[in-house]
Amino acid sequence: MCGIIGYIGGRRASDVLVKGLKHLEYRGYDSVGVAVANEHGLEIRKDKGSVSQVSVDLGFMTLDGHVGIGHTRWATHGAPCRENAHPHFDCKKSVTLVHNGVIENYLELKEELAAKGHKFSSDTDSEIIAHLIEEQLKTDKPFYAFIKSIARLKGTYALLVIFAEDIKNIYAARNGSPLIIGVGKGEMFCASDIPAMLNYTKTFVPLEDGDVAVLSRTGYKISDISGNRVERKSVVVDWDIEMAEKGGYPHFMLKEINDQRHFINETLATDVSTAKKLIDSYERIDIIACGTSYHAGLLLSYLLTKKGKLAHAFIASDYPFIARPDNKTLVVAITQSGETADVLQAVRFANENGARILGITNVVGSSITRMADTLVYLNAGPEIGVAATKTFTAQLTVAYLLVYPKEKLGGLSKIISDMLEKEKEIKEIAIKLKDAHDVFFIGKGLNVPIAYEGSLKFKEISYIHSEAYPSGELKHGTLSLITPGVPVIAIAPDDETAVKIIGSIKETKARGGVVVSVTDNPDVIKVSDYIITLPKIDKDLYPFAEIIPLQLLAYYVSILRGNNPDKPRNLAKSITVE
């Protein structure tokens, strides 16, 4: 996801910005830029490429001034290129800004501004904010122009803005995307994450959703979007840079599991309108994916089948040998990286046979974006850990957005946050499982893809053999492997599947198996050895609550066994060979 930084003080701003952006590189990006303010006005330098290369090629360090903002861009709207890189100007070059997030109503605002004569130089949703502020400056001073403009935005944002007429301040706002103030002596900082500022200060003030801040050399003021003053607590951290890049967590995987409560809002903001119409117009839908993405695809196939569609999920590498797509087939290709070789080969096969392609990916400009007829972006930001966590949750979110109204998913962030609070009990269960030789996962209905994904996470980072099954399949062979002490993890929410999965749990217990249930069903609780409690929520949304503890369980078993969960042996993040 994009990284932003702002500085105001006595140092050379360009130096602080470049060093800070280098410490945000772990977030992933495709382009970089800075804007510096001085008595001559605002100057922007930006382009596609790395911080090190672009900063040298464009002479970032030659910019004079003690106030500036910088940005590393992870493309969401518009391809990676100089025009789409941040910072952005308005028409008069009176406003410059950097933005992290997704503006859902940008097309509506862009049409309104274009009708008033505004000219745009990029394909981004971010640029319209600068023009919106420019328009508001016709009647208001900078602060009120700022808060009135952001009040019109729908979506997520972390914003830093500099006005040519007020270079003694940096304006900041947060809604759904992280933004943190760094407090120095005679200088102030603001960035997406602490690593960008850690060389200069250890004191930070995390902004909350709806906060607006004004930074000067001497301090900061925080208000709500109506201009009413609010107070936020400062924190002092004792981290080194490596710890800070992981948000204070020991591993990227744990950070990314915890980040899901925030990034889910970015995915909810993605535009699925065209994709939804495409799905509605087809009866036959083939879904192709690999690994974790296949499990998300399988759940999508279940959701579509329940809605009356003829939907099937295929392992992408087998698709050309099994399926017979034609011009009446919609193929949904799910690939986090957009470069998964088996998926791309299956897409080529589908194209050759006349099928339409809907691509779901996390990476703008990847191969799948050039092969698909319609695209949906996950907006999950880069994932550093090899084992997919937040990108799987993002894929689930897109699957649900394609089937249900967005309003149904409004509580996902809270569901995830509630499950993250179960960390202590999950650690205790991990101690019980760390020496196991085999672990089995079972579920029923919509819970089966979650069982598959839980099993995959478990074995790929713990190196313990694991398999997953629909619970009814236990008695068709797998019970022969259930001996005293063998753990079975049951995904058993309080829905219509609970009464059936209780029978499978009892069969397991009768053979000495140890049952860990992810459940909120009182009868399941009675027959289980260990419990991870689910909240009482909309039954359709149980998968979002179930996957979080399974990710945490895999993580803690892995570290208890002395493994590095960020870099599991023999595995790679993006599989670009068949």
- pLDDT confidence bin for 178, thresholds 50/70/90: confident
Mean pLDDT, range 562-569, rounded to an integer: 88
d(CA 315, CA 290): 6
Residue 48, phi-psi category: left (phi > 0), alpha (psi -120 to 50), beta (remainder): beta
Name the percent of the chain lying above pLDDT 90: 81
The answer on pLDDT for 576 being more than 50 is: no
pLDDT digits (tens, 9 = 90+) for 228-284: 999 998 988 877 776 667 778 899 999 999 999 988 998 999 999 999 999 999 999
Residue 534 DSSP code: P
CB atoms within 10 A of CB 480: 8
pLDDT digits (tens, 9 = 90+) for 280-331: 999 999 999 999 999 999 999 999 999 999 999 999 999 999 999 999 999 9
Name the percent of the chain lying above pLDDT 70: 97
Mean pLDDT, range 178-186, rounded to an integer: 94
d(CA 77, CA 382): 16
**Worst-scoring range by mean pLDDT, 241-245, 372-376, 455-459?**
241-245
Mean pLDDT, range 341-366, rounded to an integer: 91
Residue 229 DSSP code: B
- pLDDT confidence bin for 578, thresholds 50/70/90: very low
What sign does the CA torsion over 387, 389, 391, 397 have? positive
Mean pLDDT, range 506-518, rounded to an integer: 95
Active site residues: 2, 573
Please state whether beta strands 203-206 and 235-236 pair in parallel, antiparallel, or not at all (unpaired).
antiparallel
- Inter-residue contact 211 to 235 (CB < 8 Å): no
Q: Which pTM does this prediction carry?
A: 0.73
d(CA 138, CA 134): 7
Statement: 420-578 belongs to CATH 3.40.50.10490: yes
CA–CA distances in Å: residue 492 to residues 12, 75, 548: 58, 39, 14
Task: Enumerate the domain spans of the chain.
Answer: 3-245, 420-578
Task: Give the 3-state DSSP-derived string for 128-179, with helices as H, strands as E and coil as C.
Answer: HHHHHHHHHCCCCCHHHHHHHHHCCCCECEEEEEEECCEEEEEEEEEEECCC
Partner residues linked to 98 by β-bridges = 160
- Inter-residue contact 41 to 69 (CB < 8 Å): no
Q: What class does CATH assign to 3-245?
A: alpha beta
Q: Decide if 3-245 and 420-578 have a common fold.
A: no
